[in-house]
Structures are given as C-alpha cells and as structure tokens.
Amino acid sequence: MISRHRHSAPMFKSIQTGEVRNYVGDPSCAAAYEWILDLLRDTTAAWLPKAEDFNDRIKGNIGEFVAFHVTKKDVGSGWYIFYSNTDTPLSRISGAGLDICYLFLGTDLTGAADKLMIQEIKTTGSSALTYADALVTDYDKLKSVDPSLNLQARVRALKARMRDTYGITDRLILERVQLLAHPDPSKCSKVYFLPTLVHELKNSDPALRLSTVKKKIGAQGWSVSLIFPISIGLTRLNDGFLHLAQNKSFEP
Amino acid sequence: MSTIPSDINFRMNAAAAAARARGAKPTGETTAGGDVSVALYCVGSFDGYANEDELASLELEEIAAPLIAAARTLLAVSDELRSSDASFLESADGLAMHAGIAFAMHGNFPSARTSVLAANQVYRTLTAARRLAWAVCDPAAIEDIIKFADNNTDEVLFYRSWKRALLTVVENAKGTSEQLLRSFAVSPNASDAALMFSTAVAFRQGFRLAIANLKNTVPQLPSSFIARLIDAGRWTLLPPQRKLLADKGLAQSKTNTLLNLPTSTGKTLLAEACLAAALAESTGIAVYVAPYIAIGDQVLTALKSHMAEDIEVVAMFGGFKSEFPSADPDTKQILVATPERFDGWLRTTTDKARLKIIVLDELHCIENGSRGARMEGTITRLRLLQDAGAAFRLVCLSAVLAEARGLRDWLAVSVSDFHREGWRPTARRLALCRSDGTMTWMYATDALRPAGAQFGTPSSGSIKINLPEMVVPFRGEYVPDKDSIAASRNIAAIAEDLATRLHGPGLIVCPRRIDTRRIAAALAETVVASDTSKIRLTEIAARVELNHPWLSGLASMIRAGVAYHNSTLPFEVRRWVEQSVRDGDLTFVASTTTLAEGADLPFRWTLVSHWLRGVYAGAPPINPLTFRNIAGRSGRAGSYSEGDTVLFESLLGPNGAVLSNPNERVAAISKILTDNSPLNSSIANVDENMEERETQAVKAAFSSQLMAAIPENPHSEDIVSRLAGASYAANSGSLDKLALLFTNALNEMLDSSAVGGAFAVRNSPVSLTELGVAANRSGFSPGTVRKLVEFLNEETLSSNPIQLVANALKQFAGVPEQSNHYLIKICESDSHRQFLKCADLASVVSFWLSGRSTREIFESLPTFIKTKSKPESIEAQFENFVGFVDSVMQSFAPWLMRSMDALKAFGTEEAQSFDWRGLAEKLESREDNSSVDFFE
C-alpha cells in the first residue's frame, strides 16, 4: 500500500545516541500509547476479541505501524511511501515484502537527488534486544537468490507500483527508480537503510545493540555511511501492545 | 535505451553462474546472490521497452547482451540451486520464471518456454502473475493454463484474447489482452510484481513475432502455408526468421541466396517459405537437396505437413539413380533429394525449364571428399545453367561457414543476399577434457564473453574427473582390444560425470562403430534408467530382441537407458533409438559422427570421445568444420537453453607424432577448436593431404561432373575452362588443380582408341558421343565407364544374375567410386581375417535377393559357422559386414547394374539382352523377410 499520511504530531521525541536515533514517549510512554491507540482506531475496526489470540506476528505488525508513524514525520514531504503491513496492524498475516520503502525523486531530472530508504522493523518485548540481530538477516536478504527478496526485484516491484498505483508512465521517471539500486552493495550509494527496533524500554541498551547491527549490515558490503539505525522504546511493550490490540488504553 | 552502468560486468556474472551450475569454480569472484542481483537489474533496464524500434533492438546481441546474459544467469543459478538444497527450490522456480520472461523479451520463445517449464508446476500455477507469465512464454499451452485460472474471468479473458491476438494479429485483440495484463500488475509478492512488469515487454515481443503477421508482411506466402504452420503449433517466429521473411523479403526474392545461420535458428522453415513462395504463383518443380537421409526425412515430413495439398512432395533418397517418377507439367512438385539422386535426375531430366528453386542444405559438405566433389560439381553446373538463362533460384544453407566471400562469388550471391545471423536460441558451451581427466570450460564464439576473453580463454576453473584406466599411445600398428576397452571405460566415466553436472541426455560421438558399442556397454554396467522411462524402454528392448535376436546386448543396454547407434544397426532399430531420445527416455547414446551431424535430436550435451578421426596409424585430427557442426547441435532449441560440447584428448591409437607429442597434440586440438578457415574445395587436398583412394574418388567424382556438363553447355567452346572457372575451386585457390584434372578427364573421353571408342568428340564445341551420353547417364567417371564397357564385352559374361552381380563386385571393387574398404580387402586376397571371403559373394548375393536378413546372411557364412571367436569379435565382424551390405549391396551393386543397363548397347549380344535394370530394382527393393513387426 501507499500513503501520504497526515496525522497529529507523534507523542515521541528523538535523541541521537552515537549512531542510533532513539525515540521515546513524550511526555510519557502512556501518552505515546494513547496516541498509537488513536491511530489504530483510525485504521482498523477489527480488534482482537481475546487476549489469547495475541501473538508475535500481531505484535510485529503493530511495531511496524508504530515505526511508520513515528518515523514518517522526520522523513519530510515529497516522498512516495510504500509499505506491506502498516494498514493492517492487527492482521495475523505478515507480508513478505519490504516493511517500508520511502522513495524520493528530486526535481533535478538527472536523478542526482533521487534516493530510496528501506526501513526494516523488528519488535521485541524483551529487554535483552537480541532480536535486533534479525534486522541483519532482513537486509542480507536484499542480496538473496530468492527473487521475492532480492533488492533488484523489489525495486522493479516499486516501479510497477509507481506505474499502476500512481499512474506514472513516464519512462524516464521509472528508469530513475531502476537506477537507484546498483546491484553491487558497495556501489549502491542512493539506497539508505533504516534498521528499526521497536522494543522494551526498561533495562535495555538499544544504542549498543543497534550499533552492532549497523556494523554487521555494513559487513555485508553495504556502505555504513548510509545506514541509520532507529530505536523506538516503550515501557512494558508486550502488555501495552496487547491492550492496544484489544482497543484498550494502557498506562505502563 | 537501457541504462546499464559501465561498472556492471554482467558478462562476468553470466560466466560465473554458468561455471557454478556445472560444479566448476568461476574465474570471477562473484556470489550466486550477486549474480542474481546483476541479472535482475539488467532485466529491469529493459522492462520499459514498448515501441517497434525498441523491441527490434532487443533482437540485437550488441544491445540486448545484458538481457541475454541475465536470462542465462538466472537459469544457471536456478539450476545450481535446484541441485543443492531442497530449501532453495522455490527460489530456483522463481528464477526460472524470470529467466523465461527475459528470454521472451529477447524474442527467444523456445528458451522462454524451456525456462518456465523448468519451474515446478505448483509454483508456476500458484498465482495469476506466474500463470500469465507462463502463457506469454508458452502461448501454445494456453488451453492447459486456463485450467488453473480458478474461473477468474479477467484472467481467462486475457488468455482468450492473447490467443486470438497471436493467431489473428488483430490489434483489437492485442489491445484487450494488453489492458487485461496490466490489471494483474500489482502483486504483494515482489518477484511476481517484477515478473509482471517485464511480462508486458515479452507480450509485445510475442505479438510482434507472431507467425500470423506473415499474412500481412509477406503476402506472397500462401495463407494455407501459414495456417498449417500455426496448426502445427508454431505460433511465433524466431527473430532471424521474422527479420529475413518480413524485412528482407527472403521468401519472395528471385535471386540466389546464402544463409549462414546457427543451428536451431530455423533455417528449414525459411527454406520451406522460399519453396512455398516459389510455387505459389505457378506450377513447376522445387528441389530440396539434403546430404543426410536423416535430414531429408525430417524435411520431407515437415514439407508434407506444411505445404498445400496441390503440392506433391517426393522423396528421392538412396544412391545414384537417374529415374524419376514422371511429372505432369501442370503440377507443383517438391523433390527432397540426396545429392546423388539430384545429380542423377539433373543429368537426364527434360524438366529443367520447370525448375523454380533449389535449396541446398548443409552447403559446407562440399568440402567432404568425393561426395563434396559431386555436390560442388552439381552446384557449378547449376550456376552455368543460370548463366545460360535458366530462371531458377539457388538458396544455400549452412550453420558453420566462416569467411564466405569465395562462396558468395561462386554462387553469385550479392552482399545483400548473404545473410549471416549471430542470433541463436541456445547458448553453446565448449569444454576440453585433457587425457588425465582435467576438464575446463572455455569461451567460444559467444558474443557474451567478457572483454579481453579470447576464444579458448578458460571460462571456469578446472574440475578433475577420475578416469579408471591408464591409456597411452600403443607401440605398434594396431591397437589391442584391451586398450580400446580401457579407453571406453574412461569415456564412460566422463559421460557419467557430464550427466551428473549437466543433466539431460548426452551424445557420445565415437571414431569407430566398435567404440559406440563398447562405450555404451561400459555405461550400461553402472547406469539405471529412470522410473518414468523404464516401461517404455523395456518395451523397446523387447521389440529389439524379438525382431533382431543378435542384438540382445543392445536390448540390455536400452533397459538401462543407454544405447549405441551406428550404421550396423537395422534401420528400424536406429529409428527406435532416435525416438527414445526424443521421448527423453535414453540417458546416453554412443554414436558415430553420422548421427551427430545429421539428426536434430534433443541432446543436452555432446562428448566427442576422440580428437582424431580414427584409431589407426596416421589418423588425422577431426576436421574443425565437422567439430563446429557437431558442437552446434547439442542443446536443441525448445528442449534446452544451453548445449555443452566436450572434446576429449584421448590417447588411444598407435604411437605417432601427433598422438604422442604433447606439443603437436595441443596444436592439433587447438586447431580443431578454433580454426575458422574458409571452406576448401575437396580438390584442394588431392595429391597432398589425402589418402590415395580418397584422392582417386574425388578425381572420379569431378571427372564425372565434366561429362555431365558437356551436354548442358552445348555452345561452350572450352568446357574445361568454363566448368573449372565456374567452380568453387576457382574461388578458393585451386583452379589450376581442377583445370588440370578436367583436361586429363576430357582427353580420356576423347580417346577413340580405348574400349568402346570416344565418349566425346571435339567438334568445337565438344559434344558427347552416343557412348558418352550413356556414360553420362551412369554417373560414373570415364575411367570406370571404360571398365564397365569392357565387362559388358566379356565373352564369358554369365547369364546367371547372381553370378553376374558377384563377378561385377569382384571386378569393380577397386574403382574409385566404390568406397567400402571391406570389399576391397576381401577381393584383393584371401589372407585376411574377415568372415566374408571373396568366394562367398555369390551366396551373399543370392541370400540378399531372396530377402534374407543381414544377420541371417552373416550367420550363413562358412567362417561364421566354424568360428570359435568370442562374441565381441563376432560382433565386430558383423559390424564390418553390415557396413558392406549398406554400402555395397544396397547402393553400389544397384548403381553398377543400372549403369550396365545404360551402357549395354555397347556390349555383347548377351549383355544387351540381359535385364540389368530389373536386377538393379531387385537388389534395391528386396524385402527383409525375417523382420516381424512387433505390433502385428
């Protein structure tokens, strides 16, 4: 799906810690949860009837939903945004595509200002944050032999969506999309990675964990200067998301 | 235009993927994922192509190279994944689908179909995007695909309108189907979405190549011809076919044409179109000359299927014969003939004025000994007839020509009528396996080789095959059987290795018939037929055993999925073996070069088991042109997208310089692989690099052509200069040799003191005497005709036909036109180890005329009856005997008898009263009484 979403300012603030941008609730986690619930009510009417139905997949989808709404404000205007699960945050199914892509095509027809940001998101209620390593795997798949995961197929899928959803048939524009992603990771200078961890805030060290993630992704051949890790911390995340999924407010 | 950054080395990725798919180390440092990334990027660079110019540019290698490389890369990685780990199967299927669409964008629909069918059916039919991609790549399968469409109205509507668009080329149908295709473009699966984006280009390319377009672009082609092609399942043309027919006007052209197209690019269909257009307007005769009966058979079947009902298609196969079924002048006929039969017809026909077109297939065969001499001579005569005003057109075909200027000049083909196409549907891979089992793939003529890589540059790291036997050159004249058997085991080991790496059925080309049997036996010891093939193979094996009990060894091999194929096998057994290859049941076939050069069978790979032409002292290396021809045939389009040819550096043979000296060996092998010299006239090597018997045969064939040219050029003041000057020899540096040969032959013909008198008189111009006219009808050389006249004047001429044939065979065993060494050997003396003795000839002829099977005749030989030889030796003897029967009893003996008939007026009264022609027909038409049809 695609969105140029407008909504009230997120109840999150960001702090840059070393290489990682950390988002936390502002003024509090309770306010952040309330803001998320408000967004969910705008998006879905199919709430979770029973607590037992809650699972990691739904938790992940809500995490993607949160990451999308928190991040997009800082992305700015003029971007085409594509996502897989963000408009179905309570779905028991999680799409296999890229979580969120932000595509910018500059006014300069040479394409010099064009860029693509790929945000892969993982959600964990554990303060150990070991699940962050799964982000490394997600980005590694961009070099996969699997054509449903390989970056080049995904870029071509974006072209298809640009044409068939936005009605953009201008060949030159679609070619610029094609040119964004060089098949050699070390030469892929217009694709930015936003590895994002939505996580339990209490007793966690997301900056350390995501710095390691950045190094590991860089070791795959991608330029580390184009990798911008993001952490979104929420206190008592598991409980909070369970409540949200049932259309209930939550105060941690 | 596509935008591939210069720092993307897609050629290197393609080579690396190909190497890994073969289990070899790539020369470049890439990963499978990296190769896929580059390939998908390259495909994406072309997926906006829409207009005619852009689609046309996708046919050109220089523009579409990234796309072609991508298709090959994706399929190679798919193959690699398929044989590595079950968890990669879905990726392998996905890549095969993407490869298919990339091939289709390039207009390579045979490989597109092969690729999508490589994907598992469950994967291929799971989503609408994949089903649509399949339908675009393989439109003839639409009715099957519809069954998977889950009653999706739009999807079914697309299939219907896509089919209609292809078969009617109506723009409305195209528009409807294209719009419907767009509606499926958005998919949550990135692979499917990307696939659909590119499928649109493949769709447009398919419409552009639809064979039905010919109705508009080549109105000279009968619509019934186009309709029949479509009925036969040909919905799209290959790009070179479209270009030559629609853009270049090939079919309707009236001028001589030379087509140099790689194997599998559809030369036969182009020739068919030329024939159909030539006969569309008026009655007349068209001729298709095919040097191999296997090719002639295929062409005959195709023509009968595709030509309109008012065109009679006539087969003229077999040895030299001038008879021809009489033709009504108001009919349209196509003669499919061997060069010998066509020569015979041309000498005597009164229908030359009705000739409209002559297609000469495998033109490069003019280089091959006496047969080549006959072809060159016949074509030269045709050229002289054209110069004298004949209106027919020559269309010459070959897949392996190098420099063609001399040929063009010879054939009076203008630059614009010479069509050389590099486009090929199948990637050709070449490898050399050294005598120690080290095998390396190398770059050949493929335009996709990376910058700096020359022909012969390794395209992969080496692999090592464990050869079980040590084989070295033998220090003696004749190689002992144990060495040959050991060499066969080594070849079997290489073949098994190739089957594991490359899959698909393999052809092993052998220098001798005995090697075909030994290698097949060695393979059958370890190979097991697949479960899907077992039932059919068991049935074939039973049929072989029932009809030909002495072939129980072959039957056992067939049960294991292995067979040998050579001229000693009965005709029907050879056809059964060929059919089993077509059905995909046989894994290995060991054959002599005849099958490799002649038939178009779906082998995935070919192993040339020896680089020398034989296993005897002084055996020369394989002719590079023959090797090119063999190499071009593995990987048949529509069955495979790749074909590998491996040349083995065998050391089997008597110790000799070229075999034993590593440097000379390397130089000779390098020449086989890389030599790209222009064709030679077969006269070029006479008296120098040719054996004496072959030299005599070539000279005889040319001499005979001079005789044929005399009545065809009644006003020529200097027939020698005229014929020699018009020959290919004159265009390839051998004019003096041929002119001298013709001068000598003419002097021989003018010699009135010789038996029977002169064949020709110098009345300025030269003309044939009555004897000369008869001699010309015989097709023999002047020297041999003299001997025939002598024979017909013998006072002791027997009136017993059996004795007559036997005596004739003894007397004419040594004439240059008789090519069977076995007959020469047994007639020279009795001090030989062959089972057949000269004294047995009469009984052999008798049994032959009575319809006994070849095996029965063999087993009636006195030497066979008392032999205590091992079965292996007996079979080797039988192979020689079958060769004798094929060459002598079926071909040479009837030719002799027909010539006696032509010349009998110059013999004794007894000779004149004898029914020579009847005897010839009996020799040819005798029926094998021992064969029982399995299905009866």
Q: Which of B5, B40, B90 has its CB closest to that of A182?
A: B5
Nearest CA to B671 among B614, B729, B626, B635? B626
User: What pLDDT is recorded for position A6?
Assistant: 40
In angstroms, the CA B451 to CA B447 distance is: 10
Asked whether the predicted pLDDT for residue B173 surpasses 90, the reply is no
Residues 60-99, chain B, touching A (beta carbon < 8 A): 77, 81, 88, 90-91, 94-95, 98
For chain A, say whether B187 makes contact (Cβ under 8 Å). yes
Asked whether the predicted pLDDT for residue B932 surpasses 90, the reply is no
Asked whether the predicted pLDDT for residue A203 surpasses 50, the reply is yes
Q: Is A9 exposed, middle or buried (0-12, 13-18, 19+ CB in 10 A)?
A: exposed
In angstroms, the CA A95 to CA A154 distance is: 13
Residues 167-226, chain A, touching B (beta carbon < 8 A): 171, 174-175, 178-179, 181-184, 187
Q: Which residues of B touch A85 (CB under 8 A)?
A: none
Residue-wise pLDDT for B901-925, tens only, equals 999 999 999 999 999 999 999 998 8
Residue-wise pLDDT for B53-94, tens only, equals 999 999 988 899 999 999 999 999 999 999 888 889 999 999
Confidence of residue B1 (pLDDT cuts 50, 70, 90): low
Structure tokens at B86: 């079950």
Kindly state the DSSP code that residue B335 receives in the 8-state scheme.
Answer: E
Structure tokens at A147: 């054509």
Q: How many residues in chain B?
A: 936
Would the CB atoms of B98 and A147 count as touching at under 8 Å? yes
Name the helix (H) or strand (E) containing B287: strand B284-289
User: What pLDDT is recorded for position B830?
Assistant: 75
Nearest CA to B896 among B861, B924, B860? B924
Asked whether the predicted pLDDT for residue B167 surpasses 60, the reply is yes
Residues 90-149, chain B, touching A (beta carbon < 8 A): 90-91, 94-95, 98
Would the CB atoms of B186 and A187 count as touching at under 8 Å? no
Q: Which residues of B touch A147 (CB under 8 A)?
A: 36, 40, 91, 94-95, 98, 190-191, 194-195
For chain A, say whether B193 makes contact (Cβ under 8 Å). yes
Is residue B324 within 8 A of residue B253, CB to CB? The reply is: no
Confidence of residue B301 (pLDDT cuts 50, 70, 90): very high
Pairing of strands B418-420, B257-260: parallel
Is residue B532 within 8 A of residue B614, CB to CB? The reply is: no
Would the CB atoms of A184 and B34 count as touching at under 8 Å? yes
Residue-wise pLDDT for A57-111, tens only, equals 899 999 999 999 999 888 888 899 988 767 777 777 666 666 789 999 998 888 8
Q: Which of A157, A178, A182 has its CB closest to that of B190?
A: A157
Would the CB atoms of A96 and B40 count as touching at under 8 Å? no
Q: Which residues of B touch A95 (CB under 8 A)?
A: 188
Structure tokens at B436: 């120690």
Mean of pLDDT values over A32-48:
90
Would the CB atoms of A183 and B41 count as touching at under 8 Å? yes
Q: How far is the CA of B643 from the CAs of B120, B427, B444, B640, in angstroms?
A: 22, 6, 12, 7
Would the CB atoms of A147 and B36 count as touching at under 8 Å? yes
Q: B45: distance to nearest CA of chain A, Å?
A: 7
User: What pLDDT is recorded for position A94?
Assistant: 60
For chain A, say whether B196 makes contact (Cβ under 8 Å). yes
Dmax (CA) for chain A in angstroms is 54
Q: What percent of chain B has pLDDT over 90?
A: 67
In angstroms, the CA B679 to CA B657 distance is: 27
Pairing of strands B760-762, B766-768: antiparallel
Task: Give the pTM.
Answer: 0.91
For B46, the closest chain A residue by CA position comes to A175
Is residue B629 within 8 A of residue B399, CB to CB? The reply is: yes
For chain B, say whether A111 makes contact (Cβ under 8 Å). no
Structure tokens at A214: 């950045």
Amino acid at B422: G
Residue-wise pLDDT for B547-601, tens only, equals 888 899 999 999 999 999 988 888 889 989 999 999 999 999 999 887 777 667 8
Q: Which residues of B touch A173 (CB under 8 A)?
A: none
Asked whether the predicted pLDDT for residue B121 surpasses 60, the reply is yes
Mean of pLDDT values over B734-754:
95
Which distant-in-sequence residues (6+ apart) come within 8 Å of B877 by Cβ? Answer: B834, B835, B858, B864, B869
Residues 116-145, chain A, touching B (beta carbon < 8 A): 143-145
Name the helix (H) or strand (E) containing B328: none
Asked whether the predicted pLDDT for residue B929 surpasses 50, the reply is no
Confidence of residue B936 (pLDDT cuts 50, 70, 90): very low
Q: Which of B185, B188, B198 has its CB closest to that of A164?
A: B185
Q: Which of B41, B90, B194 has its CB closest to that of A157?
A: B194
Confidence of residue A2 (pLDDT cuts 50, 70, 90): very low
User: What pLDDT is recorded for position B325?
Assistant: 64
In angstroms, the CA A181 to CA A221 distance is: 14
For chain B, say whether A156 makes contact (Cβ under 8 Å). yes
Asked whether the predicted pLDDT for residue B928 surpasses 60, the reply is no
Asked whether the predicted pLDDT for residue B652 surpasses 50, the reply is yes
For B196, the closest chain A residue by CA position comes to A160
Amino acid at A196: T
User: What pLDDT is recorded for position B757?
Assistant: 92
Give the dihedral of Cα atoms B698, B699, B702, B704; nearest 10 deg. -110
Q: How far is the CA of B176 from the CAs of B51, B154, B172, B707, B730, in angstroms?
A: 17, 10, 6, 65, 59
User: What pLDDT is recorded for position A48?
Assistant: 86
Would the CB atoms of A145 and B88 count as touching at under 8 Å? yes
Could you please report the per-residue DSSP string of B771-814? HHHHHHHHT--HHHHHHHHHHHT-TT--S-HHHHHHHHHHHHTT
Nearest CA to B629 among B377, B368, B297, B296? B368
Q: Is B172 exposed, middle or buried (0-12, 13-18, 19+ CB in 10 A)?
A: exposed
Residue-wise pLDDT for A137-189, tens only, equals 999 999 999 999 999 999 999 998 888 888 888 888 898 998 999 999 999 99
Would the CB atoms of B36 and A96 count as touching at under 8 Å? no
Q: Reduced to 3 states, what is the DSSP secondary structure of residue B509? A: strand
For chain B, helix (H) and strand (E) counts, in that order, are: 44, 17
Q: How far is the CA of A18 from the CAs of A14, A128, A211, B3, B190, in angstroms?
A: 13, 19, 8, 39, 34
User: What pLDDT is recorded for position B734?
Assistant: 93
Nearest CA to B821 among B737, B864, B881? B881
Residue-wise pLDDT for B346-403, tens only, equals 999 988 999 999 999 999 999 988 999 999 999 999 999 999 999 999 999 998 887 8
For chain B, say whether A98 makes contact (Cβ under 8 Å). yes
Would the CB atoms of B37 and A143 count as touching at under 8 Å? yes
User: What pLDDT is recorded for position B442?
Assistant: 93
How many alpha carbons fall within 13 Å on the CB side of residue A2? 15
For chain A, say whether B714 makes contact (Cβ under 8 Å). no
Q: Which residues of A touch B79 (CB under 8 A)?
A: none
Could you please report the per-residue DSSP string of B513-559? HHHHHHHHHHHHTT----HHHHHHHHHHHHHHHHH-GGGHHHHHHHH
Place of tokens 């909504």: A7
Nearest CA to B659 among B670, B646, B648, B668? B668
Q: Reduced to 3 states, what is the DSSP secondary structure of residue B734? A: coil
Q: What percent of chain B has pLDDT over 70?
A: 97
Asked whether the predicted pLDDT for residue B934 surpasses 70, the reply is no
> DSSP H helical segments within B84-127, as ranges?
89-105, 109-118, 121-126
Would the CB atoms of A152 and B98 count as touching at under 8 Å? no
Asked whether the predicted pLDDT for residue B542 surpasses 80, the reply is yes
User: What pLDDT is recorded for position A5?
Assistant: 36
Is residue B202 within 8 A of residue B101, CB to CB? The reply is: yes
Could you please report the per-residue DSSP string of chain A? -B-----SPPSEEEEEETTEEEEEESS-HHHHHHHHHHHHHHH-S---S-GGG--HHHHHHHHHHHHHHHHHHHH-SSEEEEESSTT-TT-S---SS-SEEEEE--SSTT-TT-EEEEE-EEEE--TT-GGGHHHHHHHHGGG-S-TTTSHHHHHHHHHHHHHHHH----HHHHHHHHHHS-SSGGG-TTEEE--EEEEE-TT--HHHHHHHHHHHHHHTTS-GGGB--EEEEETTHHHHHHHHHTT-----
Which distant-in-sequence residues (6+ apart) come within 8 Å of B880 by Cβ? Answer: B822, B834, B836
Q: Which residues of A touch B95 (CB under 8 A)?
A: 145, 147
Would the CB atoms of B95 and A174 count as touching at under 8 Å? no
Place of tokens 């077109």: B357
User: What pLDDT is recorded for position A1?
Assistant: 37
- Helix, strand and coil in chain B, % to nearest 5: 55, 10, 35
Asked whether the predicted pLDDT for residue B24 surpasses 80, the reply is yes
User: How many C-beta neighbours within 10 Å does residue A215 have?
Assistant: 13
Q: How many residues in chain A?
A: 252
User: What pLDDT is recorded for position B134?
Assistant: 97
Would the CB atoms of A147 and B191 count as touching at under 8 Å? yes
Mean of pLDDT values over B249-268:
93
Residue-wise pLDDT for B308-331, tens only, equals 999 999 998 866 666 666 667 889
Residue-wise pLDDT for B679-717, tens only, equals 889 998 887 767 888 899 999 999 999 999 999 999 999
Q: Which residues of A touch B192 (CB under 8 A)?
A: 148
Place of tokens 């030909």: B548
The overall average pLDDT reported for chain A is: 89
Q: A232: distance to nearest CA of chain B, Å?
A: 27
Q: Which residues of A touch B41 (CB under 8 A)?
A: 152, 178, 181-183
Q: Which of B32, B91, B182 has its CB closest to that of A147?
A: B91
Q: Which residues of B touch A160 (CB under 8 A)?
A: 185-187, 193-194, 196-197
Tell me which of A140, A146, A154, A163 to substitute to probe the interface with B (most B C-beta atoms closer than 10 Å): A146
Tell me which of A88, A99, A152 to substitute to probe the interface with B (most B C-beta atoms closer than 10 Å): A152
Q: Which residues of B touch A96 (CB under 8 A)?
A: 188-190
Asked whether the predicted pLDDT for residue A8 surpasses 70, the reply is no
For A156, the closest chain B residue by CA position comes to B194
Tell me which of A116, A150, A165, A177 to substitute to probe the interface with B (most B C-beta atoms closer than 10 Å): A150
The overall average pLDDT reported for chain B is: 91
Q: Which residues of B touch A97 (CB under 8 A)?
A: 188-190
Amino acid at B508: I
A-B C-beta contacts closer than 8 Å: 124
Q: How far is the CA of B897 from the CAs of B652, B681, B883, B924, in angstroms?
A: 41, 31, 20, 11
